């Protein structure tokens, strides 16, 4: 059968096709206008950050799905709506003067508005009362240098702000380098032991010299035994050059050694610590952490120091200088343990971007007077190693809390 279409039918089809085409064009055009308008409105939104002209996250999320979440792999996200810190250092009795930046006159609060977010999971929100309850009748000890004291002060303030101050006990024992905070209602303590090398630094050696004994643990190690949570660190004091070097001789297997590479000495000393953990710590009763090296933003180039920085370091040019060889050594050593024996609190990456969060010149109460009388602020030795409180160590403790009690 032959199909015939009249001229009238052809006109109707043409008209219908034209109408459909017009409708499609109008729909697509309206959609395009809406998208364009949304983009235009988004682009015109004001930036809320008072000292920033951008709104961004530091670090690029990993699109790959992981079976286990690494809470130390993430990015700093600016949260200007978070106006209140976890505690007020001016009202926390545990913060050293040089860490209490706002008490010493630091005028800005921007460094408190950044939050660390993991790439592949939600980090549990820190809850001080929950941590106290979980650690009822337990001891938490932090052992190491002043960076671990920085962390101890932060943890004490975080927990102290969760309970009435009348239920707290504090001791500072100068004979045994120890800080002791106790929540009496929970019978829970947080203690700090000064031991920057973890091994013995003998100040009274028979030679009359200061001797670093690589195969003997720190004398206060007898007080570590029995703790339920242990957090160690060591690294900063091993790499101090020239007159800042802390020892005259090294002792190993009963022999005094004048020259040994820093890398060899550090690895030998850390093996002594690791052997002590294996022999003296029951992983069924005690959780052990080694906190990684905290970035120092101080180099031979003064303009790269922290004292005049108010923004994060976005590129490696301004990122921290830290002894990567020590990072490699301790990471190799920790791999010899099972995860139940020693956990790695890896805060190196997250701290290296935070060039603006150090005390700098605000370590001094009289910083105004000091800066008025010098043209070279570097001579004042601004603190680019420790951290303002509240600040970055609070994040370390929030990750400690997450690592202790959540299966991530």
Q: Got the DSSP string for 22-72? A: HHHHHHHHHHHHHHHHHHHHHHTSPP--SS-S---EESPPP-S--SS--TT
* Residue 383 is a catalytic residue: yes
Query: How many other CB atoms are found less than 10 A from the CB of residue 179?
Result: 19
In a 10 Å sphere around its CB, with 0-12 CB exposed, 13-18 middle and 19+ buried, how is residue 361 labelled?
buried
Q: Calculate the alpha carbon distances from 403 to 115, 203, 326 in Å.
A: 17, 37, 23
pLDDT of residue 34: 45
Q: Which of 261, 397, 277, 256 is nearest to 342 (CA)?
A: 277
Q: Which of 86, 146, 292, 351 is catalytic?
A: 146
Q: Which of 102, 160, 297, 386 is catalytic?
A: 386
- 278: three-class secondary structure by DSSP: helix
* Residue 160 is a catalytic residue: no
pLDDT of residue 376: 80
190 forms bridges with which residues in the sheet?
A: 140, 181
pLDDT of residue 101: 94
Q: Which of 358, 383, 385, 394 is catalytic?
A: 383
Looking only at the bridges linking them, the beta strands covering 168-173 and 178-183 are antiparallel
pTM value is: 0.82
Q: If you ran DSSP here, which 8-state letter would residue 244 be given? A: G
Distance (Å, rounded) from C-alpha 285 to C-alpha 295? 32
Per-residue pLDDT in tens (0 to 9) along the chain, 408 residues: 444 444 444 444 444 455 545 444 444 444 444 434 333 333 333 333 333 333 334 444 444 434 578 999 999 999 988 655 678 887 888 899 999 999 999 999 999 999 999 998 999 999 999 999 999 999 999 999 999 999 999 999 999 999 887 778 877 665 556 899 999 999 999 999 999 999 999 999 988 999 999 999 999 999 999 999 999 999 999 988 788 888 999 999 999 999 899 999 999 999 999 999 999 999 999 999 999 999 888 877 777 789 888 888 876 544 455 678 899 999 999 998 887 899 999 999 999 899 999 999 999 998 888 888 887 887 888 999 999 999 999 999 999 999 999 976
């Amino acid at each position: 059968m032959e199909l015939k279409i009249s001229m009238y039918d052809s006109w109707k089809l043409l008209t219908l096709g034209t109408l459909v085409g017009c409708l499609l064009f109008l729909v697509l055009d309206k959609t395009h206008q809406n998208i364009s308008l949304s983009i235009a409105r988004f682009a015109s939104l004001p930036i809320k950050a008072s000292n920033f002209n951008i709104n961004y996250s530091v670090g690029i999320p990993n699109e790959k799905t992981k079976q286990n979440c690494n809470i130390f792999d993430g990015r700093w996200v600016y949260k200007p709506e978070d106006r209140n810190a976890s505690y007020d250092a001016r009202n926390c009795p545990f913060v050293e003067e040089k860490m209490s930046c706002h008490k010493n006159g630091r005028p800005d609060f921007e460094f408190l508005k950044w939050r660390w977010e993991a790439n592949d999971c939600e980090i549990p929100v820190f809850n001080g009362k929950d941590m106290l309850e979980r650690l009822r009748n337990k001891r938490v000890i932090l052992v190491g240098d002043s960076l671990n004291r920085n962390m101890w002060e932060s943890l004490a303030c975080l927990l102290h702000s969760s309970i009435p101050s009348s239920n707290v006990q504090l001791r500072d024992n100068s004979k045994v380098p120890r800080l002791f905070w106790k929540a009496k209602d929970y019978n829970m303590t947080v203690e700090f032991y000064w031991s920057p090398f973890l091994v013995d630094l003998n100040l009274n050696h028979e030679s009359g010299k200061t001797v670093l004994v690589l195969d003997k643990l720190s004398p206060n190690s007898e007080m570590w035994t029995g703790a339920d949570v242990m957090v160690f660190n060591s690294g900063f004091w091993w790499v101090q050059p020239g007159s800042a070097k802390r020892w005259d001789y090294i002792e190993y297997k009963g022999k005094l050694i004048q020259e040994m590479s820093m890398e060899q000495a550090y690895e030998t000393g850390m093996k002594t610590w690791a052997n002590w953990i294996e022999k003296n710590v029951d992983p069924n009763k005690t959780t052990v952490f080694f906190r990684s090296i905290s970035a120092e933003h101080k180099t031979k180039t003064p303009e790269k120091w922290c004292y005049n920085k108010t923004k994060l370091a976005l590129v490696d040019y301004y990122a921290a200088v830290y002894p990567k060889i020590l990072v490699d050594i301790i990471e190799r050593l920790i791999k010899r343990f099972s995860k139940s024996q020693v956990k790695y609190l890896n805060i190196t990456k997250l701290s290296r971007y935070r060039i603006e969060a150090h005390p700098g010149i605000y370590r001094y109460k009289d910083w105004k007077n000091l800066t008025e009388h010098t043209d070279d602020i570097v001579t004042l030795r601004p603190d680019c190693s420790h951290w303002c409180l509240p600040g970055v160590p609070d994040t370390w403790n929030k990750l400690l809390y997450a690592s202790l009690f959540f299966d991530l």
